[in-house]
Structure 1
Amino acid sequence: MKPHDPLVLGGKEFQSRLIVGTGKYPTMELMQQCHEASGADMVTVAVRRMELPGTGKTLLDYIDRDRFTILPNTAGCYDADSAVLTAKLAREAGLSDFIKLEVIGDEKTLYPDTEELVKATKTLVKDGFVVMPYTSDDPIVAKKLEDAGAAAVMPLGAPIGSGLGICNPYSIRIIMETVNVPVIVDAGVGTASDAAVAMELGVEAVLMNTAIAGAQDPLAMAHAMCMAVEAGRLAAKAGRIPRKLYATASSPLEGIIGT
């Protein structure tokens, strides 16, 4: 039986610590199946890439709004003003007060423009949004985002869609020591072991899209990610043994008669 260990964001409880995306799937039906297999409670939707109403069945028709919390994101925005406008459009469309804030600074690396990101965070927080910014793995920026009112900070594990895994676990650990809001690894996960490593660092959750949608068997990978996030969380709470240079016997001889 799973322990009651909810993720709390913006005052709302989520039973899963895996957040998944909606892009890059070959079919909407497969996306639906992967969402279920992942066990996630929250799914991200790129507002600027959504279909207009009246154009037939849209992405939102394939998401059970009673089952999943929609996390609109501002993907494709390159300055604070466009990100703020996109977030407001999402709320006007009835999607959510939650927003995954992306303000991209470079088209090739998709690294964030942290100056514009902090600016947009301040504006959206004042407007009542629950802001979850995608950011670099810089502890100073993470602290500025917390001070700006972010409900969580989401440092990249590696560049978006790269599948490189957690490239700098030490920066992630420093961020966790620097801020008091939840830390969520966003971007870079390639396979289940990457998700487990992220969770074992002690982060609150992992957000991913390409690792599932781009897998050879997305449905199997979604299930694997579900188990990996749960295993990593349990391992982090259990506490690993210290690393040692030399062996330590599993069955010590001390106390055995005749020794």
Structure 2
Amino acid sequence: MSETLDIYGTALPSRLILGTSLYPSPAIMQQAITASGCAALTLSLRRQAPEQRGGEQFWQGLRSFNLHLLPNTAGCHTVQQAVTLAQMSREIFHTNWIKLELIGDDYNLQPDAVLLLSAAEQLLAAGFNVLPYCTDDLVLCKRLFELGCKVLMPWAAPIGTGLGVLNPYALRTLRERLPEATLIVDAGLGLPSHACQVMEMGFDGVLLNSAVALAKNPPLMALAFANAVHAGRSAFLAGAMPPQHLASPSTPVLGMPFWLQETQNGH
């Protein structure tokens, strides 16, 4: 498929973004990344002690893939934490991309809507290309887009649950009401069919981590998700038939079947 995923003017040849945590080993992670065909990877700085450059070996390994890196602010609970971590990521990875995560509830890891808007505004003013991880709330997403966040990353379900799309209506509403935004479903997808579902809705991409990393065979699951994303996007572009409640024959019946005509004619 010739279509690309547009991230702040950068065209990615794949609509799948893969996370880099929870894998059984670096080797399996490498195999999964290769199998997925993804063009971008996300990574958490806070869990790697960036102030001491504690994750340098891990980061160098990710750089070796020659893929776009999307640092995130996972684990942050305040605006200052998120802004500071974003500044560190720009210095370490030489990128203005930042996946903004600002958690308001430790139980379901739901983003803090109020602080998310404040942090996004500060980071945009500082020249960052902000990709906020948010809920499927229409008003929140509209506010983020109006601030200047061209890419939004709403959840399908709480992060790491694998429950799939809990509120299809909300996601469809986001797609319909924000036609100019790049929408990437982030969090809650557990099966390739979940990814296919959101791509059929017209979403621009998906970001995965747990669903691949925690599978019995991460590389095979990465391939399955890649195929599902491709299939869902193709289905969206093709245009699905409208659903209807009455059965309709795929082969219309015109006149009398030929064998009945022969019987009546004495043959």
Interval of TM-score (by shorter of Structure 1 and Structure 2): over 0.9
CA deviation map 1:164-216 (0-9, x unaligned): 00111111111122222111100000011011001011000001100000111
8 Å contact from structure 2 (residues 48, 55) kept in 1? no
**1:41 counterpart (19, 39, 42):** 39
Structure 1, unaligned runs of 5 or more: none
Partner residue of 2:231? 231
Q: Which has a greater percent of helix?
A: 2
The whole-number CA distance in structure 1 between the counterparts of 2:41 and 2:217 is: 19
TM-score by length of structure 1 reads 0.94
Partner residue of 1:77? 76
Q: Is 1:125 the equivalent of 2:140? A: no
TM-score by length of structure 2 reads 0.91
The whole-number CA distance in structure 2 between the counterparts of 1:248 and 1:50 is: 58
| Greater alpha carbon shift after TM alignment, 58-67 vs 102-111 | 58-67
State the secondary structure of the residue aligned to 1:237. Answer: helix
The whole-number CA distance in structure 2 between the counterparts of 1:11 and 1:119 is: 24
Partner residue of 1:219? 219
1:142-157 to 2 correspondence within 5 Å? 142-157=141-156
Partner residue of 2:2? 4
State the secondary structure of the residue aligned to 1:103. Answer: coil
The whole-number CA distance in structure 1 between the counterparts of 2:224 and 2:46 is: 30
Runs of 4+ in 1 over 3 A off after TM superposition: 51-57, 254-259
Tell me how large the CA RMSD over aligned residues is.
1.8
Partner residue of 2:17? 19
Q: Is 1:187 the equivalent of 2:187? A: yes
Paired amino acid for 1:251: T
Shift of 1:256: 7.7
CA deviation map 1:75-112 (0-9, x unaligned): 00012111111100100113421000000000010000
Partner residue of 1:245? 245
Shift of 1:120: 0.6
8 Å contact from structure 1 (residues 72, 95) kept in 2? no
1:213–1:243: structure 2 CA closer, same or farther, 3 Å change rule?
same
Count of matched residue positions in the alignment of Structure 1 and Structure 2? 257
Paired amino acid for 2:19: G
Percent identity, aligned pairs only?
40
The whole-number CA distance in structure 2 between the counterparts of 1:143 and 1:10 is: 17
| Greater alpha carbon shift after TM alignment, 240-249 vs 104-113 | 240-249
Shift of 1:4: 1.0
The whole-number CA distance in structure 2 between the counterparts of 1:252 and 1:54 is: 69
